[in-house]
Structure 1
Amino acid sequence: MKTLKLITAIAITAILGFTSCQSEESIQTGTNPNANSSTSPTASNFERAAMNDGSEDDFLDGSACTELLFPLSATINGKNITILSKLDFSAALNILGEFNDDNDTVAFNFPINVRLSNYTEVTVNSQSELDALKSECESAEAQGRDAISCIDFKFPITMLTYNVSLEQTGSVVIQSEKQLYTFMSGLNSDVLFTANYPISATLSNGTEIQINSDAELQDSISDCVQFEDEKDEAADAALEVEAILSGAKFTVDSYIVAGVNTANDYVNYTIEFTNDLKLIAKDIVNSTTGEIEGTYTVSSETEVFLNTTFASNTAVSALGNDWVVNTYSSTLVSLKSKTDASVTLTFKKI
């Protein structure tokens, strides 16, 4: 689902920063029966897509409605860390990802400064204040006022303005998301607008598009929002798969290559997925055989992936692959090769 950003109750009563973009030369005469009001779906689409994106630090504050401002310090899983820039996010992620079956905790050393979805910067003095902002964020989502972050416009964008008689009164050249948000959120009821199409944009799946009308804008947003929803569903499923695997032992229930089931090749082995992302293959029949170690990771896009790796030239090397998770339950995880759908593997929990 799309990233959430907070729409606060602060009213913006004037459009700031645009007077230098408007001149006598930019004003064109004419009428436009398709001009949009401040309450139109097009106005909402542009405004929500232009909100400040606070999603990059969600693993710390749990809310895309707040962008953490630097410097700040926090205690993460009992370890103190100072974050001076986004470059320090990797250190925080390493602490959080050390084990996949623990309860991660992030305790900020308040006060901290955050930037809200409307670009306002505020000081947060306690966890309760931060929780209140998160609650407002969840309310915005429930009411359909959450941000649309799956589309990035390419600037400049020109907005043509009209009066209620549909006569053009001017034009505004917008150079950034913040200016676009300010323009849309500051529109008066007696001002209408239309975008001077075409507009170029990039979707969250990397596709670059050209938008030629309000209808195409709506279609593009609907498509990319659906893509984001699928990504969120897959991310939730990935967490479930990782929880099933972590700290558990499995046997190879089936391993099919080109229609041939070779599970008997692994009948003597158990495969343990440890909570620190390691694999341990153990021969339960021949105790003199040493353990074979490997690694695993669970990830997702619009599907759930499991990567397994064992050292080459071992009895279980063939089980190492980039897998797509087909189905899963509390006792079975069924996989197919990412590159060859004829190769499938099913792990059964002991």
Structure 2
Amino acid sequence: MKNCFKLSFCTFLLGAAMALVSCQEEEPFEEDVDSEKTLVAHGDELELLKRVVDNDGSYDNIVDGASCVGIQFPYTVVVNGLEIKVDSMGDLELVEAKLDALELAQEICNMAIVYPITVTLSDYSELTVNDEDELYEITQSCIEGGNDDDIECIDVIYPLTVFTYNPDFQLLNTLKLDGDMQFRRFLAGLGESDLISFEFPVSFGYGNGEKVTANNNSELVEAIEEAKTTCDEDDDADYNDDDFTQDGLDKLLGKCPWSIRPLKKSEQDNTEQYPYYFLTFEEGGKVIAGDEYGYATEGTWGTGVSDYRVILKVEFAEAPDFNGSWWVYGLGEGKIALFTDEEGDRMLLEMACDYEPNLCSEEHIIESLKECKWEILNEDGSFFEELYLDFSAEMSLHVYNSDATLVDEGSWSISGNVVTLSKLSETLANYVGDWKVMACGDDKFELDRREETIVFKIKCEK
């Protein structure tokens, strides 16, 4: 009986031990791991997620020019001798306003950071920076045109539940994550052989306001990849390119005429070629370039968006210096700063609501020419002889020299903005023909005949 009892007892203990082992192995162990639900630490999927939750330092690119670091408030910058204490995002707008004012005024800008400062890196770690050289070394991986890895056009919608496993697929922990910093630090703490999985579905928000739900790892990766190009991450140092929209630019251009000061093409200052020039943008895509003397030429205009930047397209047949696809890089009070991809091309438009072009109508030309005598000149102000034209109301034309001696006579007529000189047979015989009035100011007219230009300058007798 004792032997039987011992045998039965041993059998019972062995069975109990096997049951314990069986329970330990069966509860947390998954023999068939679902690859669509489990991720390996430092695998491609988690590296992609890490870029989503990296710290975005682009908000202060106006100061440090780098998107992978953010300077912690408070700190101080000096702009052209003016100290600005930066305590908040609002103070960064003050810095931008100061830089805008200097840029639009075409003044040289010098900005310096007062050190030491504390910066936050993409993994939310913090460093003290003591001078410009140290900051330069830190930001080399993410300066404008550099390699900034964070993906900003998509955000994780929290809370997010994460399960961690050991290499034997035993459940180690269940975590509830509530933000990017916590998620990023969690990912940084994973070991090489750790495994994790999420409690699906996982939700994301796109920069355009849309939401997407991922039910497995493949859908999660797909959602992130699709988000990469859905918005402008604004990681460059052009802090002005998000200050306006295409629609806003359209409305602004149509408010008033715009003077052109200055205009630089291919690093050459062409401003003096267009003194007191104005652009008037009309609905329907028509733009008129004119000056204070009434010269006007028509072209086309339109706006668009390329690489998340607003552009102004202008095309003139007779004023090619204005032509091109101009990037809009700055808006100030009544000012628009433009540049093109061509090196050195810059144009500044200033609002000129008081500008009223002289319309070279037939009536205006007739009334002006009959008012006084007009000296005839070449475009450069010279002429072979000092001569004055007297346009009579009866459409006769008399030509006098500096001694008031009649040296030629004929007639004149007008159709629209074309003045026709006729029957001149002496001094001005070579000027018989049709002349198009290109500009008609109060004291000066400019007329063209093919490649030839003459100027009438008013000379009223006292």
- What's the TM-score bracket when you normalise by the shorter of the two chains? 0.5 to 0.7
In 1: Cα distance, 2:93 partner to 2:144 partner: 30
8 Å CA contact 1:151, 1:204 repeated in 2: yes
1:116 aligns with 2:121: yes
Q: Is the 8 A contact 1:158 1:196 kept in 2?
A: yes
8 Å contact from structure 2 (residues 160, 177) kept in 1 = yes
Partner of 1:247: 262
Is 1:285 equivalent to 2:300 in the alignment? no
Does the 8 A contact of 1:237 with 1:304 survive in 2?
no
| Partner in structure 2 of residue 206 of structure 1 | 209
CA distance in structure 1 between the partners assigned to 2:80 and 2:187 by the alignment: 42
**Distance in 2 between residues matched to 1:174 and 1:267, nearest whole Å:** 60
Structure 1's 121 and 232: CA in aligned 2 closer, same or farther, altered over 3 A?
closer
Q: How does 1:218-229 map to 2 (within 5 A)?
A: 218-228=221-231
Q: Which has the higher contact order (CA 8 A, sep 6+)?
A: 1
Structure 2 counterpart of 1:134, from 127, 134, 139: 139
Q: Is structure 2 residue 72 aligned with structure 1 residue 69?
A: yes
Aligned match of 1:345:
none
Question: TM-score scaled to structure 2, two decimals?
Answer: 0.48
* Cα distance between partner residues in 2 of 1:327 and 1:157: 53
Contact 1:73/1:82 (CA < 8 Å) preserved in 2?
yes
Whether the 8 Å contact between 2:241 and 2:309 is mirrored in structure 1 is yes
Is the contact between residue 51 and residue 118 of structure 1 (CA under 8 Å) also seen in structure 2? Answer: yes
* TM-score (norm: length of structure 1): 0.61
Q: Distance in 1 between matches of 2:75 and 2:142?
A: 22
Decide whether the 8 Å contact of 2:57 with 2:67 is kept in 1.
yes
How far, CA to CA, are the matches of 2:205 and 2:165 in structure 1?
A: 28
Query: How many Å apart are 1:106 and its aligned residue?
Result: 2.1
Q: 1:173 to 1:97 in 2, by over 3 A?
A: same
Q: Deviations over 1:223-261 (max 9, x none)?
A: 22123469779x79969xx9xx87226778997866xx8
CA drift of 1:262 comes to: 5.9
Q: Distance in 1 between matches of 2:140 and 2:325?
A: 38
How high is the sequence identity, in percent, across the aligned residues?
22
Amino acid at match of 1:165: D
The 1:299/1:255 distance shift into structure 2, 3 A limit, reads: closer
- The letter for the 2-side match of 1:114 is V
Aligned mates of 1:334, 1:137 — CA distance in 2: 28
Larger Rg: 2
TM-superposed CA distance for 1:221, in Å, is 2.0
Residues 200-240 of structure 1 deviation map (CA, whole Å, 9 limit, x = unaligned): 2222222222222222222222222123469779x79969x
CA RMSD of aligned residues (A): 4.1
Q: Is the 8 A contact 2:54 2:184 kept in 1?
A: yes
Structure 1 partner of 2:323: 332
Aligned length, in residue pairs: 259
Structure with higher strand content = 2
Query: Partner amino acid for 1:46?
Result: L
Q: Which amino acid aligns with 2:34?
A: P
Aligned to 2:152: 149
Confirm or deny: 8 A CA contact 2:165 2:196 kept in the other structure: yes
Segments of 5+ residues of structure 1 without an aligned counterpart are 1-26, 270-282, 287-297, 307-323, 336-348
CA distance 1:262–1:62, change in 2 (3 Å): closer
Query: Within 2, Cα distance between the matches of 1:191 and 1:41?
Result: 14
